[in-house]
Amino acid sequence: MRIVLFTGKGGVGKTTTAAATAVRAARSGLATLVMSTDAAHSLGDALGRDLTTTAESGGAVIEVEPGLHALQVSTPHRVDRSWRVVQDYLLELLATVGVDPVVAEELTSLPGAEEIAALLELRARAESGRWDLIVVDCAPTAETLRLLALPEALAWHLERLLPVQRGLLRSLRPAAAAATGMPLPGVEVAATVRGWATQMRDVQRLLTSEQASVRLVLTPERVVIAESRRTWTSLSLYGFVVDQVIVNRVFPDARADAQARGGRARPDPWRAAWNAAQQEGLAEVLESFAGVPVATSPYLAHEPIGVDALAALAADRVGDDPATLVSPVQKRGLAVRRVGDDYVLSLPLPLVDAAQVDLKRRDEELLVVVGDHRRVLTLPAVLKRCTVRSAAVRDGTLRVRFTPDASVWPPGRLVPAAGTDDEGRPTAAGEGSARG
C-alpha cells in the first residue's frame, strides 16, 4: 500500500493532477482510493461526480468506476465533539497553571477538528488493507504544511501535558476545584488526551514511513516556483519525502507548430513569449529540484473534467514513471551515525543556507527553525548525554555533530563562519558552524 499526497500553490492543478493520477492507476489495475482533505470540495468537480455524503458518516467512499473510489472527507460530529472537549480543557488548563512558555506558545495555535479528522480518516483507510494506492488531494501549501506538521507537534504537546495532569490529579484534586476553580481533568479527559497523543504518533509514523510520499504540483512561473522551493524545504524539515515534481500547464511549443505548418507561418508572438518564459521556468525547476524526478503536463485547450479526460491528461504527462506509485519510498529523513567518538545527526534541508537555520538545544530536544517553520526533535537516547559541537548546512543537509560530554551547550544560531564541518573537513565561509 502506498500513499501519495499532492500539494502546491492554490490553483496550479493539484486536484486535477491527483485525480488524473488516481484514474490512471486504477485503470492499470491498482485498487485506488482518491480522497480530498481540501475544504474546497473540487475533487468531485474534477471527477464529474457528486461526492457529498452526510457529515455524520465522516464522508463515505463512492465508486467512480471499477477499481477507482473517491472520498470527500468531512468532519464527523464525534471527532468534532471529543476533540473540542480536549481542546477546551487544554486551553483552560493553560490559563490557570504555569505551563512551560514554549508549550504555551505552541498551544495558542491548536488545530481544528477538520484537520484531525482528515488525518484520522487517512490512517483508517490506510489500515483497512483494501487499497493498493491512496491518492490524497491536499489543500494549498500553507494548510497542508500545517496539517502534516500537526501529528508530531500535537503528540508532543499532549505528552508534555500528561505529566502536568498527573501532578494536578495527585496534589490538587481534593481541594482545588472548590478553592481555585482550577480545571481538573476528569478521568475521561485524561484518557482522551492519551488516546489522541497515541493516534497522532501513529499518523506521524505512517506519513513518514516508506509507504508515503509527497508530490509537488506547480506551474512554470516564477512566483509559483519560489513558493514551491520553500515548500520543499519545509516538507523536508518535517521529515516528508518529495518523490516527484509535476509541472502543470506547459504550453505547446509555438515554433514547433509553425514549423509543422510548413515553416512559412510565423509563430504567434503571444504564445512565443509564453513559451520562452516557460522554458526559463522549467530550467529553474530542474535546477531547484535537482535529484527529484520532474514530470510535465500539457496545458490542454479545455478543462479536463471526468475520468476519460483525466486519463488522457495522465497519458500525456511526460517523464512520469507509474512504477513509482507502487515502489517503496526512498527515505531521506533524520539519521544519526557514529563518527569516531562523536555522533552526527543529519536532516535533509534542501535549498537553504546556514543563515536561514536556527538551532536551539533544550534538554532532551533540538529545536530546528527555518523561516516560519519549526520542528522539535526529541533526541535519541544516545544524544541526550552529548553536547553539540558544531553544525553546518551543506549539500541540502543539516548536520549537527554531538560530542559525549556533560557540559551544557549554549543555545546558538548558525552563523556564516569558516570552520570545520561534522566530518572535520574545512568549510568555506557562509556554510556556518554553531556559535559557542
Ligand X SMILES: Nc1ncnc2c1ncn2[C@@H]1O[C@H](COP(=O)(O)OP(=O)(O)O)[C@@H](O)[C@H]1O
Return residues touching ligand X (CB under 6 A): 10-16, 42, 248-249, 297, 299-300, 303-304, 313
Q: Which does 220 bind (CB under 5 to 8 A by kind): ligand X, Mg ion, none?
A: none
Q: Is residue 232 within 8 Å of residue 350, measured between CB atoms?
A: yes
Per DSSP (E only), the strands in 73-205 are 133-137
Q: Which three cell numbers stand for residue 88?
A: 477546551
Using CA atoms, how far apart are residues 387 and 390, in angstroms rounded to an integer? Answer: 9
C-alpha cell of 350? 534542501
Please, what is the minimum distance in Å from the beta carbon of residue 139 to ligand X?
9
Decide whether 15 or 390 has the Cβ nearer to ligand X: 15
Q: How far is the CB of 68 from ligand X (least distance, A)?
A: 17
DSSP 318: B
| Complete DSSP assignment for 34-98 | EEE--SS--HHHHHTS-----GGGT---EEEETTEEEEE----HHHHHHHHHHHHHHHHHHHHS-
Nearer to Mg ion, 7 or 199 (CB): 7
Please choose, out of 42-50, 102-110, 122-130, 308-316, the segment that lies near Mg ion by the rule CB under 5 A. 42-50
The answer to whether residue 42 forms part of the interface with Mg ion (CB under 5 A) is yes
Residue 13 touches which of ligand X, Mg ion, none (Cβ within 5-8 Å per kind): ligand X
Task: Provide, rounded to whole angstroms, the least separation between the CB of residue 278 and ligand X.
Answer: 13
Q: What is the CA radius of gyration of the chain?
A: 25
Single out the residue of 3, 13, 15, 234 in contact with Mg ion (rule: CB under 5 A): 15
Q: Which is nearer to ligand X, 183 or 304 (CB)?
A: 304
Minimum CB separation of residue 47 from Mg ion in Å reads 12
- Nearest CB to Mg ion, comparing residues 46 and 285: 46
Nearer to Mg ion by Cβ, of 119 and 138: the residue is: 138
Stretch that binds Mg ion, among 12-20, 52-60, 128-136, 366-374 (CB under 5 A): 12-20
Q: Are 185 and 88 in contact (CB under 8 A)?
A: no
Residue closest to 232 by CA, chosen among 320, 324, 348: 348
Query: Rounded to whole angstroms, how far apart are CA atoms 238 and 410?
Result: 24
Point out which residues bind Mg ion (CB under 5 A). Answer: 14-15, 42
